[in-house]
Amino acid sequence: LTPPEQPLTYASTGVDLEARQGVVARYKEIAKRATGPQVIGGIGPFAGMFALEGPYRDPVLVATTDTVGTKGKVAQLAGRFDGLGRDIVNHCINDAFTTGARPLFFLDTIVSGDLGDDAKLALVSGVADACAEAGVVLLGGETADMPGTYVPGGFDLIGFILGIVERDRIIDGSRIEAGDVLLALPSNGLHTNGFSLARPALGIGAGPSEDDRPRLERYEEDLGETLADALLRPHRCYLPDLKPAVESGLLKGMAHITGGGLGENIPRILPPGLGARIQTGALEPPPIFAFIQGSGLIDEAEMYRVFNMGFGMVFAVSPGDVEAVRALVPEAVRCGEVVSGGGVTLVDPAGPNPR
């Protein structure tokens, strides 16, 4: 081992603790947008504290974690980081909310090699705004600077959410039976899944990096907007629209359509021995899906295996409750039914491969 020519310092290795303190102070300022009287001691020194105001009869805590994954790569190439905070918060809210839980607080972690302070602050800013909009407290976060682990510009944004639900109000699919009706709310695009297929299909990030931004920012006739706008549209939060239906107690199961599409996510809420028939034509996929499919020559079945294809949230109700639920969620469309057997059968009433 050759000794270094100069004494080593942490700053010389790319980790500047003092600079980092400055950014942390700004994180704390941003986090104040999404705080509340339940928070004790602000962003705590080693952990956040949240008073569990009640009373609760038989409370169940609900927790989940996810990441923006390679949607971050597109954001990096486009130089737009503000939507990703909303992506991860809304993704986590939707996941926790499938149990009927009210989300209480959120924590984020940014992992990166060389991501700049402005990008990090934009990420945290989006997180705080999405939390504030949903009435969720931003209780803490972490930034891990990892020289030598990421490709230049590489990063991920990870979220954790904590919610609470009374045990007798848990929505877990166990009461679903054959003949129940499936309703759906539309997605607004890819949400936070399928980017590892979308990117190569669109040729983004494949060639010289200076080609990516003009391509992402060019107006596309077929989309009616730029690729960046279509791809980076933030994951929709279903909490406000579905809350009245959840509180009604009429929803028997809720599936958030994420990675693996309808075929993988709907069975996660179905009791053994049950499957689903879905009329894929019930919701018009946003045009970005046909654009990706055409660019990548992707098989229709593969599209449905990977992407949400316009389905954001699918929920099961008894046939007799359909009208009551639709009155509470006017945007909901009937998209199928629960059937005996297993698996998810996709039926397109407009005929095979109409797109």
List binders of a copy of itself among 93-112 (CB under 8 A): 94-96, 98-99, 101, 104-105, 107-109, 111
Could you give the string, one character per residue 159-198, with x where binding to a copy of itself holds by CB under 8 A and - elsewhere?
Answer: -xxxxxx-x--x-xx--------------------x-xx-
Contacting range for a copy of itself; rule: CB under 8 A; set: 80-88, 116-124, 128-136, 142-150:
142-150
- In the beta sheet, which residues pair with residue 103? 163
| Distance of closest approach, residue 301 Cβ to a copy of itself, in angstroms | 10
| Nearest Cα to Cα of residue 292 among 207, 156, 193, 185 | 193
**Amino acid (1-letter code) at residue 24:** V
Q: Does 51 bind a copy of itself (CB under 8 A)?
A: yes
For 34, residues 6+ apart whose C-beta sits below 8 A from its C-beta are 106, 127, 128, 129, 131, 132, 136, 137, 138
- How many CB atoms are closer than 10 A to CB 323? 10
* Kind plus residue range of the DSSP H or E element containing 295: helix 288-296
- What's the closest the beta carbon of residue 282 comes to a copy of itself, in angstroms? 22
Work out how close the CB of 162 gets to a copy of itself at its nearest, in angstroms, rounded to a whole number: 6
Judged by CB under 8 A, which of 14, 116, 244, 273 binds a copy of itself? 14
Q: In this structure, are residues 144 and 109 in contact, taking their beta carbons and an 8 Å threshold? A: yes
Beta carbon nearer to a copy of itself, 295 or 326: 295
Q: How far is the CB of 87 from a copy of itself (least distance, A)?
A: 13
Which H helix or E strand runs over 149? none
Candidates 36, 205, 271, 275; binder of a copy of itself (CB under 8 A) is: 205
Choice from 34, 35, 129, 145 touching a copy of itself (CB under 8 A): 145
Task: For the segment 308-327, give every residue that binds a copy of itself (CB under 8 A).
Answer: none
- CB closer to a copy of itself, 74 vs 332: 74
Residue 213 sits in the site that holds a copy of itself (CB under 8 A): no
Which residue, 129 or 145, is less far from a copy of itself as judged by CB?
Answer: 145
- Rule CB under 8 A: which of 120-139 touch a copy of itself? 139
Instruction: Tell the residue number behind the tokens 């969620």, with chain if given.
Output: 329
H or E element, residue 133: helix 117-134
Please give the backbone phi and psi of residue 44, each rounded to the nearest 5 degrees, phi first: -65, 165
298 binds a copy of itself (CB under 8 A): yes
Binding mask 252-281 for a copy of itself (x = CB under 8 A): ---xx--xx---x---xx------------
Longest dimension (CA), the chain: 78
In the complex, minimum distance from the CB of residue 351 to a copy of itself, in angstroms, rounded to a whole number: 21
The single-letter DSSP state of residue 336 is: E
Q: Nearest CA to 192 among 321, 49, 87?
A: 87
Q: Cβ of 218: how many Cβ atoms within 10 Å?
A: 10
